[in-house]
Amino acid sequence: MYLILFGAPGVGKGTQAKILSQKFFIPHISTGDILREAAKNGSPMGLEAKKIMNAGQLVPDEIMVEIIRETLGQEQCKNGFILDGYPRTTAQAESLNKLFRKLNISDYALICLEANDDEIVKRLTARRACKSCGAIFSSSEIENDVHCPVCKAENSFYQRKDDTEEVIRTRLEVFQSSTKPVKNFYKNENKLLEINGLNSIEEVSSEIIEGLKQMFPQKKLLN
């Protein structure tokens, strides 16, 4: 399966990507994680990407296209992947389509998770990250914890700069103006699957699987 998870920041793409990755035994490729790792390593590209992300803006196409090209060419992606966080513009979508043609990939789908802006702001401002391992939790998950559930670091929780309301609102404005046209691009390609992202995690996963069955009835992996 070749899947693209799409939607506004905080709509639940990462959560669904992990579920689908385990179900289909294909890698979850998060461009956000790749960029943050590059920033952590202090590379020029990573530092520039960090500055852009902290301002709630989109990372330039020339950086993203190169990252995606390198990643999808890896051995782990030869039987499928879940792309999370890309494409974010129609120009990126067109570049990705060209890359898919080179890789002989035709059975792909863009899964669009829908949610309203106020709910997204509520979700993201409640997120906390661990300074030690980078794991992300909702504030309700760690309400009474002083240790990270993943790495056990003590008093390591903090709010990322890109999870403040001001930056989130900026990111949503960018999404509406620059990113949402991507949805129409894939709709015209007959590759769009729309899902209500406000439902429970289990309901969203179930709707995705049922939708994929209808799009790809020949895929035995879905049954």
Active site residues: 13, 88, 127, 160, 171
CA–CA gap between residue 171 and residue 67 (Å, rounded)? 21
CA–CA gap between residue 158 and residue 66 (Å, rounded)? 31
Q: Exposure pattern of 86-108 as b/e (b: 16+ CB <10 Å)?
A: bbbbbebbebbbeeeeeeebeeb
Asked whether 135 and 148 are in contact (CB, 8 A), the reply is yes
Asked whether 212 and 120 are in contact (CB, 8 A), the reply is no
CA–CA gap between residue 66 and residue 70 (Å, rounded)? 6
What SS3 state is found at 66? helix
